[in-house]
Every structure is written in C-alpha cells, then in structure tokens.
Amino acid sequence: MDLQQACQHHHLEDILDKVDTGDRLTLEEGTRLYHCPDPVLLGELAHRARTRRHGERTTYVLNQQINYTNICVNACLFCSYRRSQDHGGGFTLHPDQIREKLETQLSEPIRELHIVGACHPEHGLKHYLRILRTARQVRPQATLKAFTPVEIDHFAAVEGCEPEEILKRLRDEGLQMLPGGGAEIFDPEVREQICPHKASGQRWLDVSHRAHKLGIPTNATMLFGHLEGRRHRLQHMDALRRLQDETGGFLCFIPLPFQTRNNPLGGVEPITGLEELRTIAVSRLMLDNIPHIKSYWVMLGLPQAQAALCFGADDLDGTVVEERIGHTAGADSPQVLDRDELEAMIRGGGQTPVERNGLFERVQRV
C-alpha cells in the first residue's frame, strides 16, 4: 500500500493534502492523527512535513548545560531535582564554580551554553547578571541561552519589577535567548495537580510573549506522560501556535517525556514508546509555524531519540556535558555525548548531520 492508499484506508487523505500544501491542521485533525491505529503512517506524515521544511538535514549543537541551583520555592510534584532551602541536599553554584565548570570544556568548540536552575527564594538580579558575565567572559563565542520564562517571572517578583526590566538587564549582559523549560502543561486543572505553586501556563506564555517583543527568541517545552491526556497536549500545542502567529519568537519545540523516579507523581502508568513517538509526530504536524522539533536524547533515551528523527524531529540537541533534572528523575541516558556519537545517531537514520549554534544558525565545523 502506498502512502496515498494508506491515508485513504485510515480516512486521512484530507490531512495528507494539507501536509503537502502546508495548510494548517485543526485540533480535530490533530485528534484524528493521534487516534490513527497505524503509528508508522503517522510517522511518515510527520517525516514528510519535516522533509518539506528541512530536507534530510538534522541539526545538533556542541553545548554545555549548567544547573546553577536546585533550591526552589516551587514544589512541583514531577520534579526530583528540586530541594527546599531548609532541608538537606540543596546546592547553589557560586559564579566562580560556574567558571570552573566552563573551563573544564575549553578544549571543545562549544557553541551554546544552556544555563538553568530553579526559583531560589533569595537571589536578586545581581546574582544572575554575574552568572551571565562569567559565562560571557569564558565563552564569548557561544550562544548564551539562560533562564526559563518561569525563572524570569520569579526574578521579577523578587526584584518587584516587570519581567521586561529583568529581560532588558540580562540582555545587556549578553543573554541571547531563553530555554523552553517550565511550560509543563498549560491546562489549569492539570497544572494545579502537578505544579500548583508554579507560574501559571498563561504567565509562562505572557513572559515568552514579552521576551519575543524585546527581540529575544525562546524555546518551548511540553512535559507529557503524567496526568494529562492527548487533548491537553493538543491544547498546549495550539496555545503555542497562536502565540507564534503573533510573535514568531519560538525557535524550537521540545516534548519532554515524564521521568518517573524519585518524585511524588512517579506512580503513574508509564507512557509507552509509541505514544512518545506519536506525540513527537503530532507536534511536527500541528506546529506548522515553529521551525524546529527537538528530539531530546537525555529524556527520550538514545534509541528512542534516534527513532524520533524519523517521526518528525529535526534536531538532536547536543553534547550537554552534565545534566541533573532528567537524571535525578531516573533518565538512564549518558551524561554526555560527543560529536561523533551525535553524528552517528543522525547518519543511522539516513539523515545528514549539520552543526548549529543555539540560535539554530549553521556553523562551520572546527
């Protein structure tokens, strides 16, 4: 059966037409795709949409993640990384310790620094400016991607000012873009159950909006495989798509499968591998205005991250170096991959590896 016939068989021929013309899929069509009993067909449609946009190119980045603290005022139920200030196990890196960590990688041509932490109750903006200054000094060439919309919102609350003020000051110190964490699931009822103290979904969108208006691009995540269902995921994608219509500021969407260890939500039925791939495929097909879909190997695991590259994803993230949020929650992926390993994963799926920086600009290999 060819693709046309398979789509007819599953009553998806109208969707195939839209995939080929690039027309927008409705939420009803997204639901139909999710429920298609043939996941390979769904993958083929998503791969077709991805190939229309990116050809056979799959990007990766030589990057280094820094988690600067785990002390957090929010006690999200899915989070295994966070500690409260009063109990043991908390850490906060001094900017000099961040410098040391960055200096361990100086022999690598790192192109992106990804700096995230938590909502620390005490630190003011000065502290975050020092972190950026340190990062900029050690790595003047790397894209400086730091602080999720939730962190920005928290810094503004600590300082008693608007997020714009925070964003402008951080930008003046070298901030180039925001990572996409903290979006979780926007639906208020699910959010109330999984992260009742965190900034609302609307607030996350609002801070992203304000960053875009200041010319600061951002990424967007979605945490799935916990208490939410397909309907909530589609609504989450729809909210991102609407904002993107207005601002064009999202560079990349990153679906994050929930890691179940060491956190209060961990008793849920684990999501299946195919549901992960379906979600990645549906996100490629629904998010027609967000250029990149990331297969984040840390949370997906290496075999599934490679498979996702045939289900609509066009980016494999990067070398990472050290990651705590997924690994404290049980992710069994390695801590670090090197360039050869990333390229081999991409070539294994018949695609062409292309090195990028944090802004998804192609860079020359050195």
75 to 114: interface string for ligand V47, x by CB under 6 A: ---xxx----------------------------------
Under the binding rule (CB under 6 A), the answer on residue 254 touching ligand V47 is yes
d(CA 340, CA 62): 11
Distance of alpha carbon 148 from alpha carbon 150, whole angstroms: 5
DSSP state string for 321-362: S---HHHHTT--S-S---HHHHHHHHHHTT-EEEEB-TTS-B
> Within 13 Å of residue 129, how many CA atoms lie on the same side as its CB?
12
Distance CA 66, CA 98 (A): 7
* Residue 187 in contact with ligand V47, rule: CB under 6 A: no
Q: Which two tokens stand for residue 262?
A: 């060491």
Looking at the Cβ atoms of 102 and 119, the one nearer to ligand V47 is 119
> Please, what is the minimum distance in Å from the beta carbon of residue 88 to ligand V47?
20
Q: Which of 93, 119, 148 is nearest to 322 (CA)?
A: 93
Q: In terms of CB distance, is 98 or 222 closer to ligand V47?
A: 222
- Considering only residues 166 to 185 of the shown chain, the ones binding ligand V47 according to CB under 6 A are 179-182, 184
Minimum CB distance to ligand V47 smaller for 33 or for 142: 142
Binding mask 295-334 for ligand V47 (x = CB under 6 A): -x--x-----------------x-------xx--x-----
* Shortest distance in whole angstroms from residue 229 CB to ligand V47: 17
Q: How far is CA 53 from the centre of its chain?
A: 20
Neighbours of 260 (CB within 10 A): 19
Site string for ligand V47, 201-240 (x = CB under 6 A): ------------------x-x-x-----------------
Q: Are strands 352-355 and 315-318 parallel, antiparallel or unpaired?
A: unpaired
Number of residues that bind ligand V47 (CB under 6 A): 23
Using CB under 6 A as the criterion, which residues of the chain lie in contact with ligand V47 when the complex forms? 78-80, 148, 179-182, 184, 219, 221, 223, 254, 256, 258-259, 263, 296, 299, 317, 325-326, 329
